[in-house]
Amino acid sequence: NKQQNTFPEGFLWGGALAANQCEGAYLEGGKGLSTVDVIPSGKDRFPVMSGEMVVNTCDENHQYPSHEAIDFYHRYEEDIALFAEMGFKTLRISISWTRIFPKGDETMPNEAGLAFYDRVFDACIKYKIEPLVTIAHFDVPMHLVQTIGGWRSREMVDHYVKLSEVLFNRYKDKVKYWLTFNEINMILHLPFIGGGIRFESGENVEQIKYQAAHHQLVASAAATAAAKRINPAFQIGCMLAAGNTYANTCAPEDVFEAMCKDRENYFFIDVQSRGAYPQYALNQLKQKGIKLTMLEGDEEMLKVHTVDFISFSYYASRLTSADPAVMTQTEGNVFSSLKNPYLKASEWGWQIDPLGLRITMNALYDRYQKPLFIVENGLGAVDTPDENGFVSDDYRIAYLSEHMKAMRDAILVDGVPTLGYTSWGCIDIVSASTGEMKKRYGYIYVDKDNTGAGSLKRTPKKSFNWYKEVISSNGGIL
Ligand code: BG6
């Protein structure tokens, strides 16, 4: 029955992008250099993203995917018109910090950068597309990395809050939904991309990462406070790289290990949503010998200014074992996980688990009792256009429709309140983990390859019309 299958009225269907993966124009309009601008593609990418390899600028021996990306900076009008044609109700984008504050520590923002996002939001509003804005998506001004060591420094809180206040004041009548940090738990896994942190040999890496996490958590709460002051109607969300962890066997040791793995991630959202460090985390930090420096007022700030909704990315579930001999890494995933024999995987080894989305949604809602927003999900795949440039991406349609059905079950059968769904990379963009163009997620093909060659021409794929029908039927065709 079609009626029973439709999503709640007002459900926000759309797509998601991040500035550094789509905009390009990396030095235009007064923009300064950001962490992502010095992260190359190729074999050095991972060591740089994790903070093991120190880079301060670009060199001729590497390619830098953010520099041109898909040139959204100049083509946003065409791209947003295509999103509107699909019927998008919302578009998730992120702000490039160094367009607004090129070095990060200026007192006055850069007007050209602010004007760019005004144009982007106006284009959205023209089509009644609700912007959903991530303030920091893997993006720290390089100047702040070089002068204060990125988020390892407490001073970042003030720089971030200043940025947030400028954005809230400027766009208070155009944007209602804000996310403070993309995948805030990423700082533990890829500290340079997550927080502009790199390490010197001999440093206590865990100590630095958790202190930086504390700074981001305080900054998130302080920005939430500022948001509500500036416009009480704003809705502020946290953002977790989610995906529940399964136990490799029903041995209680494995089940306990899976619970602990999930807590490594929940830790962040426990603070942002419940307003305090959970006791398990405090005990663990103590056991690890990590001493957090908290300033007076931090606890109060965290307690009072919690988020309104829980947003998350979901690509895969995870699998773990208490037995170190069993633990091997799956390919290409920053979250260490065993291979689940019940699941197929993408060409990049990301395991495909639609029911895992329903499990994750239920777990998050059970824990936080706040509305969810799925702000990333999708299949990174190799697309091969035919002689007319058309991509028949049935594999992507299959992936997305299975996940959407699982989401529908979570909403309609299990009763999980959910604000919306923005699939990742709604137009092909560069991959965050590999820097490749070849790993495509979009409904719209962009003519550009891994070497940087291509006309940048946009061509709707088969999934474009399919998603259009999903949206116009409010999920009824699924
Ligand atoms: C998330 C990030 O981790 O996954 C995105 O928020 C990223 O920035 C997405 O692009 C997909 O990962 P990848 O590596 O396939 O681009």
Nearest alpha carbon, ligand 1 atom 4? 432
Architecture of domain 2-472: Alpha-Beta Barrel (3.20)
CA distance 264 to 327: 17
**HSE, side-chain direction, 13 A CA sphere, residue 80:** 26
- Atom from ligand 1 closest to the CA of residue 138: 8
Q: Which residues are catalytic?
A: 376
Nearest alpha carbon, ligand 1 atom 9? 432
Q: Which of 241, 223, 230 is nearest to 183 (CA)?
A: 241
- The verdict on the CB of residue 321 being under 6 Å from ligand 1 is no
CA 247 / ligand 1 centre spacing (Å)? 25
pLDDT, residue 308, reads 98
- Atom from ligand 1 closest to the CA of residue 430: 16
CA distances from 335 to 200, 331, 358 (A): 23, 10, 20
49, two tokens: 């993203």
pLDDT, residue 267, reads 96
| Residue 438: exposure state from Cβ atoms within 10 A (0-12, 13-18, ≥19) | middle
- Atom from ligand 1 closest to the CA of residue 431: 16
Q: How far is CA 299 from the centre of its chain?
A: 26
Look at the block and give the residue holding tokens 């594999």: 395
- The verdict on the CB of residue 335 being under 6 Å from ligand 1 is no
Can you give 413-426 as a three-state secondary structure string? HCCCCEEEEEEECC
Residue 41 has a CB neighbour count (10 Å cut-off) of: 20
The amino acid occupying position 373 is: F
- The verdict on the CB of residue 349 being under 6 Å from ligand 1 is no
**HSE, side-chain direction, 13 A CA sphere, residue 451:** 3
pTM reported for the whole predicted model: 0.97
CA distance 294 to 288: 17
Nearest alpha carbon, ligand 1 atom 2? 432
CA 114 / ligand 1 centre spacing (Å)? 25
Residue pair 97/141 in contact (Cβ under 8 Å)? The answer is yes
Domain ranges of the chain: 2-472
CA distance 283 to 256: 16
ipTM of the complex: 0.99
pLDDT, residue 215, reads 98
Nearest alpha carbon, ligand 1 atom 14? 433
CA distance 396 to 370: 30
CA 313 / ligand 1 centre spacing (Å)? 9
Strands 309-314 and 235-242 come out as parallel
- The verdict on the CB of residue 18 being under 6 Å from ligand 1 is yes
Where the chain has pLDDT below 50, the residues are: 330-332
Mutate to test the pocket of ligand 1, among 35, 186, 187, 433 (most ligand atoms within 8 A of CB): 433
Which residues on neighbouring strands pair with residue 132, listed in sequence order?
A: 92, 177
CA 431 / ligand 1 centre spacing (Å)? 6
CA distance 383 to 391: 6
CA 223 / ligand 1 centre spacing (Å)? 24
201, two tokens: 């040999």
Angle at 397 between CA 437 and CA 182, to 5 degrees: 55
φ/ψ of residue 47, rounded to 5: -55, -35
- The verdict on the CB of residue 41 being under 6 Å from ligand 1 is no
pLDDT, residue 76, reads 98
Residue pair 19/96 in contact (Cβ under 8 Å)? The answer is yes
Nearest alpha carbon, ligand 1 atom 10? 432
Angle between helices 72-86 and 111-126 in degrees, nearest 10? 20
Nearest alpha carbon, ligand 1 atom 12? 432
Angle between helices 394-408 and 462-472 in degrees, nearest 10? 20
- The verdict on the CB of residue 436 being under 6 Å from ligand 1 is no
The pLDDT > 70 percentage for the chain reads 98
Query: For 127-144, how does the pLDDT look when each residue is reduced to its tens digit (9 = 90+)?
Result: 999 999 999 999 999 999
Nearest alpha carbon, ligand 1 atom 16? 431
pLDDT, residue 3, reads 61
- Atom from ligand 1 closest to the CA of residue 439: 15
- The verdict on the CB of residue 246 being under 6 Å from ligand 1 is no
CA 183 / ligand 1 centre spacing (Å)? 10
